[in-house]
Amino acid sequence: MKKIKFMSTVLLPLATAVALSACGGNNTSNGSSASSNTGGSASPDAKVTVSITSWRAEASEQEFYKQLQAELNKTAPEIVIDYQPVKATEYNTSLNVALSTDTAADIIHLRPYAAGTAIADAGYLEPIDDLKGLDVFTPEQLKAAQGSDGKQYGVPYMLSSTQILYNKDIFAKYNLQEPKTWDEFIKLADTLKSNNVTPLAFGSKEGWVLSLMHGAIAPQFYGHDFVDKFLKGEAKLNSPEYISSIQALKSLQPYFPANFEGLSMEDIRTIFATGQAGMVIDGHFEIASIQALNPEIKIGAFAVPPVKEGDEPSVSTWVDGSFAINKNSKNKEAARKVLEFMTTKEYGSMILGSTKSPSPIPGVSTDDELVNAISDLASQYGQPYFAVTNLNSGNPTTKSTLETDLQGMFLDAMTPEQVAADVQKSADTWFK
Amino acid sequence: MGSFWNTRATHLVCEVNNVEDTPTAGTPPRNGTWKKHLIHLFPVPAILFYTLFIVYPIFAAFTYSLFEWKGLVMGRFNNFDNFIRLFTQEPYHTMFWRALRHNLYYFVVEMVVQNGIAFGLAYLIFRKIKGASFFKVAYFLPRLLSVIIVGFLWKLILNPNMGILNAALRKIGLESFTTAWLGNPDTALTAVVLINSWFAIGFYMLILLAGLQSIPEEVMEAARLDGATGFRLIRSVVLPMMFQPMVIVIVMTFIQSFEAFELVFAMQGSTGEPFYSTDLLAVFFYRTAFGGNSGDTGSLGIGSALAVVLFAIIAIISAVFMKYVNHKETA
């Protein structure tokens, strides 16, 4: 007990003091999480050290940077990469402290869209509009790392995508085919249900899962031009087409597992991995975890089928971070070389191969059939994951308002119309 | 995590705890004046420590609450704007009152269930039922677990799909009672409060047991000779003699219910899922100050304002209560 008391009397305020004092604008203490590396010109064989900071701290990621070092040195032998990862949940805070105390790394892993824009707007980043190789990306992808001034600040490095994953064995058992239309998809779900297989692994306990899954199917209901119309101010979130996208998610409720209100992503993963459910609307990034739970599972993927026959199917994609140069870096030239390398096919193949993630760089491939299939779907039918690409502003953000509201909808506390009205109200606080 | 109010409040309790132990001012040592003054140096490290880690954060939070914040950068002074926004602007306004209601519910359930059971257990052990010392340890055991582990364990037990609670209900034919315990807004808050009670019961039992054991044996003896047994003994003798420890228990329960954070955060995330049904003031504070989920950047100004309000609630109510108690004690 004494120990617990001690913890609460001493350590908590200590933590508060440290956390809060680090926030002060005029604080000059050096953030221990990241320090700029100025080694380079001093070393005799003219090696230049470039530090990179990121929220990806897994062992596999450290390994990836060793590979990157080897590949990079084929064209730029003088560069030494110093990888400085920070725990994901502490990354934003530690980066903010490091930037405001001028101790940040040379190359900074930017969170996508609004969060990255905020850092660019605060003047911490070097514009890279003239960087060689940037033209391999689409304008949509480049938007993930631009400032409000329209200048480019980061190189997009990984695409995330949401699509429908299915259990190939279950599909084979009931003789089911990948659906070509939404109606076929619903029929398929009915077939599974009548055979006592949960059609869709789903759970509404965690909000982020809801916006993820809504984001995946929504473009088929609000139309491929809705995001543009919204940005131009011609459509709103309480417009009928957006409401119908929310209704579509609600209409899938009969196909969810029992007590889905209490299921989190962990449970969704388990239900799908153990063959209790035939399909799941999910991000590519869950595949590795699903396979870890059941290495035997054979997973297939298809795009969200169109409501109207003949329309294009869709998968929702977004850039999951990008790399930018610290404005106060002392090794800008070398950092630019690293960023240039990040636009090459070699780099794209490394991302695809080692992180199993689609790369925004076209024409790269791996020997993993599923990853290739998803990568193809993403480049062929990609639609922006609207909530991340455009609704991630406000406090709380419109995205997190959507998430809790959808949760409310599945608890019968809100109707789709009320959800739409509420998210528009949230957008009104910041969207001009 | 800024929970300075936690410490302040705990400190209040400690002060109360020590009221009777406070020695009357001793006579200063007489040999030499320098030695006489030396005694004033002894509290210096403690005062420094206290100032740095308790007074400063409270003061800092109050200062922060008066400024505008852009992310983690302090902006211009904006008076009581953060407080006004907290109480008038959506969604803060709704979130505040809802969270406050949840904290009150938390307190009431803990008082009735947790402290009721804790007293019952303490009394049984006090009356030396068979295996008393075994039960004493057994009931205290959950307290040794980390809150995160407690949350994880109960999440497994209450999991609607694989959890043993629903499985057990199905086994005994109560299928219709199965539900998504932590995903159903009707059960989620109660579930979390009861789990916290399960976790904390042993601790309160020990405090109450200590109180019971401090009742002079002669008093109990005399009551028994007068023929008081069972409930009569508890109501007329035990409870009145337990005034002091029970006050401590009530104040500590109050503080515990108003600073409750870890368990909800571990089990229901930073938004008090589902649909804010388990949202508590401290969780609301965390979400507001440091940014909750999905890229919320957080707003340190409003967060600090909320922290100040929460500190005020705990400090004022605890102080008023203590004052009343002291008054009653001396009366």
Q: Give A76-121 pLDDT, tens digit per residue.
A: 999 999 999 987 767 877 888 888 788 999 999 998 888 888 889 8
Give SS3 for B75: strand
CB contact (8 A) between residue A17 and residue B57: yes
Q: Which residues of B touch A203 (CB under 8 A)?
A: 183
Distance CA B207, CA B204 (A): 5
Estimate the crossing angle of helix B132-140 against helix B188-213, to 10 degrees: 140
pLDDT one-digit tens code per residue, A249-284:
999 999 999 999 999 998 999 999 999 999 999 999
Question: For position A5, what pLDDT does the model report?
Answer: 44
Query: Does A37 fall in a domain?
Result: no
Residue that wins the pLDDT comparison between B258 and B230: B258
User: Are A245 and A286 members of one domain?
Assistant: yes
Pairing state between β A277-283 and A198-200: parallel
CA pair distance B287, B270, nearest whole angstrom: 6
Question: A356 with A159: CB under 8 angstroms?
Answer: no
Q: Is the dihedral of CA A52, A56, A62, A66 positive or negative?
A: negative
Q: What's the mean pLDDT when you consider all of chain A? A: 86
| B197 in reach of chain A (CB within 8 A) | no
Residues A365 and A223 in one domain: no
What mean pLDDT do residues A35-56 have? 67
Q: Are residues A144 and A185 in the same domain?
A: no
Among A23, A208, A407, select the one facing B274 at the smallest CB separation. A407
| CA neighbor of A19 nearest in space, from B67, B282, B289 | B289
pLDDT of residue B27: 52
Q: Does B72 touch chain A (CB under 8 A)?
A: yes
pLDDT at A394: 83
- Residue A370 in any domain: the answer is yes
What pLDDT, on the 0 to 100 scale, is given for residue B234? 86
Contact predicate B276/B268, CB 8 Å: no
Same domain, A123 and A270: no
Q: In 3-state terms, what secondary structure has residue A300?
A: strand
Residues 129-188 of B with CB under 8 A from A: 143, 158-162, 166, 178-185
Does residue A324 share a domain with residue A259?
no
| Domain identity same for A279 and A415 | yes
* Chain-chain contact of A263 with B161 (C-beta, under 8 angstroms): yes
DSSP codes, A212-269: HHHHHHTHHHH-TTHHHHHHTTS--TTSHHHHHHHHHHHHTGGGSPTTGGG--HHHHH
pLDDT: which is higher, A27 or B198: B198
Contact between A195 and A176 (Cβ < 8 Å): no
* Residue with the two structure tokens 């070509």: A180
Q: State yes or no: pLDDT of A418 exceeds 90.
A: yes
Mutant choice from A404, A415, A429 vs B, greatest count of B C-beta within 10 A:
A404
Q: Domains in chain A: how many in total?
A: 2
Of B143, B180, B273, the CB nearest to A206: B273
Asked if the structure places residue A43 within a domain, the reply is no
Calpha distance A141→A116 (Å, rounded): 13
Residue A1 pLDDT: 40
Q: Is residue A10 part of a domain?
A: no
| ipTM associated with this complex | 0.76
* pLDDT tens per residue across span B123-179: 999 888 888 888 888 888 888 889 999 999 999 999 998 899 999 999 999 988 899
Do A295 and A350 sit in the same domain of this protein? no
Residue of A nearest to B65 (CA): A20
Separation in Å, CA of B42 to nearest CA in chain A: 19
Question: Which range has the worst mean pLDDT, A35-39, A150-154, A394-398, B198-202?
Answer: A35-39
State which of A340, A361, A379 marks the end of a domain. A379
User: 34-53 in B: which are within 8 Å (CB) of A?
Assistant: 49, 52-53
User: CA nearest A208 in B: which residue?
Assistant: B294
Closest CB from A20, A259, A399 relative to B2: A20
Q: What is the pLDDT of residues B69-105, one digit of tens each?
A: 876 667 888 888 899 999 998 889 999 999 999 999 9
CA distance B195 to A40: 56
Looking at the fold, whether A123 and A208 belong to one and the same domain comes out as no
pTM for the structure as a whole? 0.79
Q: What DSSP designation does B53 have?
A: I
Three-state SS for A162? strand
Question: How many DSSP H helices and E strands does chain A contain?
Answer: 20, 12
Note every long-range contact of B119-128, with CB atoms under 8 Å and residues 24 or more positions apart, other chains counting: B119/B205, B119/B208, B121/B201, B121/B205, B122/B205, B122/B206, B122/B208, B122/B209, B122/B211, B122/B212, B123/B208, B123/B212, B123/B234, B123/B238, B125/B205, B125/B209, B126/B209, B126/B212, B126/B213
Helix (H, G, I), strand (E, B) or coil at A323: strand
Q: Which of A100-114, A366-380, B24-38, B270-284 has the lowest mean pLDDT?
A: B24-38
AA letter at A372:
N
Asked if the structure places residue A116 within a domain, the reply is: yes
Asked if residue A361 belongs to a domain, the reply is yes
User: Which amino acid appears at position B59 of this protein?
Assistant: F
Cα nearest neighbour of A96 on chain B: B72
Contact B161 A271 (CB under 8 A): yes
Residue A163's DSSP bridge partners are: A282
Q: Assign residue A152 the CATH number of its domain.
A: 3.40.190.10
Contact A105, A84 (CB under 8 A): yes
For residues A335 and A415, state if they share a domain. Answer: no
Q: Residue A203: which of A257, A158, A250 has the closest Cα? A: A257
Mean pLDDT of B212-240: 86
Residue A34 lies in a domain: no
Which residue of A lies nearest to B181 if distances are taken between CA atoms? A262
Q: Which residue of B has its CA nearest to A8?
A: B7
User: Are residue A165 and residue A303 in the same domain, yes or no?
Assistant: yes
| B256, closest residue in chain A (CA to CA) | A8
* Terminal-to-terminal C-alpha distance of chain A: 54
| Cα gap B36→B41, rounded to integer Å | 10
Quote the CA–CA distance of B149 and B153 in Å, as a whole number: 6
* Mean pLDDT across A116-132: 90
User: How many Cβ atoms from other residues are within 10 Å of residue A251's Cβ?
Assistant: 13
**Shortest CA gap A407–chain B (Å):** 6
Partners of B299 on chain A (C-beta within 8 Å) are 395
For the ranges A148-152, B9-13, B137-141, which has the lowest average pLDDT? B9-13
Q: Model confidence over A218-253: pLDDT tens digits? A: 999 999 999 999 999 999 999 999 999 999 999 999
What lies within 8 Å, CB to CB, of B191 at 6+ separation is B154, B158, B181, B182
In tens, the pLDDT along A177-196 reads 999 999 999 999 999 999 99
Lowest mean per-residue pLDDT among A27-36, A98-107, A377-386, B273-282: A27-36
Verify whether the Cβ–Cβ distance B53 to A13 is below 8 Å.
Answer: yes
- Whether residues A326 and A243 share a domain: the answer is no
Closest by CA to A199, choosing from A260, A116, A289, is A260
CB nearest to A259's CB, from B2, B183, B203: B183
Query: B287: which chain A residues are within 8 Å (Cβ-Cβ)?
Result: 396
Read off the tokens for A416.
Answer: 């789709």
In a mutagenesis test of the B interface, which of A33, A202, A261 is the best target, namely the one with the most B β-carbons within 10 Å? A261
**Helix pair angle (B92-109, B81-88), 10° resolution:** 70
Are residues B300 and A14, on separate chains, in Cβ contact within 8 Å? Answer: no
**pLDDT at residue A336, rounded to an integer:** 94
Q: Which domain holds residue A232?
A: 161-317+384-428
DSSP code, position A10: I
Where does the pLDDT of residue B9 fall: very low under 50, low under 70, confident under 90, or very high at 90 and above?
A: very low
A290 with A354, same domain: the answer is no
Whether A25 maps to a domain, the answer reads no
